[in-house]
Amino acid sequence: MMRNDPIKHVFIWPAVLVVLAISIFPLIYSLTTSFLSYRLIPPIPPRVVWLGNYGTLLQEPRFWNALFTTTLIALIAVGLQYAIGFGVALALNARVPGERLFRVALLLPMLLAPVAVALVARMMFNPTMGPLNQFLSQFGLVNLPFLTNGHWALGCIIAVEVWQWTPFVILMMLAGLQTLPEDVYEAAELENASAWQQFWGITFPMMLPISAAVVFIRLIESYKIMDTVFVMTGGGPGVDTETLTLFAYQEGFKKFNLGYTSALSFLFLIAITIIGVTYLALLRPHLEKRR
């Protein structure tokens, strides 16, 4: 086939149209809606307010609270997932006895639906009937307010996130560890480098690219947390555990405030983009050093 063969259009345009139809047009529609005051219930005819929705949102304490809560959950949960995940991956890579069994068992949480995990967690943290409080009462810690106090509830959500998604980090890090060359470690051993020195001098720097990717994926995913919070606390008490996606859901699917919700979604997109770009900018010097 020649470069200017018109047949190329037959192959390219269907794909372009599909991408436009399922991605670009809804995005443009959503952006347009964000400039409108538009409610389905009660039905109010759309009215152009330009940046009015954005202005209202930026002055809305609930938006900033949701952004703060989401960031807190994402940073703490991903930090813990990375630390624990990397540690477990190192242990599994060291060929501990029963490694295969551990590998399968540790992956199970990731295979479960977040809604199911959140439901089980809600039962576990149930103040009166939950096994956790019953267990803790043996040590004199009576009825801890797991889901009825804002700080405790945030801690519980983070704990569930860590439990469920650490296996993903383990999987990725283990795959990375298994590709590291053996000879570098043999050379380090000849130089009498301790295990700690080997980790900081060889393993960690060589694992940096994959670490950066894993943390980036988990960070973006964590910002989208919705189902776990929805089931465990519904955003409460008050709005103490309300995340950005849950806030958007409440506005969009409970109040059918479409213009406002579209603006919220775009602000969310902007926030995620800023976080992603900052993260990559911070890591770039270290990653470039590796090349």
Partner 1 sequence: MLRRTFLMLTTSLALACAGSQANAACSPDYTGVTLTVASQTGPYIASALKLGADEWAKKTCGKVNVVEFPWSELYPKIATSLTASDATFDLVSFAPAWLPDFVPYLSEMPKEMQSGKDWDDIEPAYRERLMVWEGKIYSQSMDGDVHTYTYRTDLFSDPKEKDAFKAKYGYDLAPPKTWKQYLDIAEFFQRPDKGLWGTAEAFRRGGQQFWFFFSHAAAYTNNPNYPGAMFFDPETMDAQINNPGWVKGLEEYIRASKLGPPNALNFSFGEVNAAVAGGQVAESIGWGDTGVIAADPKQSKISGKVGSAMLPGSDEIWNAKTKKWDKFPSVLPGPFMAFGGWQIAVPKAGKNQKAAWDFVKTLTSPEVSGQAAITGGSGVNPYRKSHTANLQLWSKIFSPEEAKEYLGAQSDSINAKNVALDMRLPGYFSYTEVVEIELGKALAGQTTPQAALDAMAKEWNRLTDEFGRAKQLAAYRAAMGLPPKN
* Site for partner 1, rule CB under 8 A: 39-44, 126-128, 142-143, 145, 147-150, 234-240, 250, 253-257
180 and 206 Cβ atoms separated by less than 8 Å: yes
Q: By C-beta, is 71 or 149 nearer to partner 1?
A: 149
Burial class (CB within 10 angstroms; exposed 0-12, middle 13-18, buried 19+) of 67: middle
Min CB(79)–partner 1 separation in Å: 27
Determine the Cα angle at 212 with ends 207 and 67, to 5°.
150
Min CB(211)–partner 1 separation in Å: 38
Tokens 């149930």 sit on residue: 126
Q: Where does the chain have alpha helices with state H?
A: 7-19, 25-33, 52-58, 61-93, 99-111, 114-124, 131-136, 150-177, 182-190, 195-198, 204-223, 227-232, 244-249, 258-290
Q: By C-beta, is 80 or 246 nearer to partner 1?
A: 246
Min CB(254)–partner 1 separation in Å: 5
Min CB(148)–partner 1 separation in Å: 4
Min CB(171)–partner 1 separation in Å: 32
Residue 224 identity (one-letter amino acid): K
Q: By C-beta, is 32 or 148 nearer to partner 1?
A: 148
Q: How far apart are CA 78 and CA 170, in angstroms?
A: 12
Q: By C-beta, is 134 or 278 nearer to partner 1?
A: 134
Q: By C-beta, is 50 or 253 nearer to partner 1?
A: 253
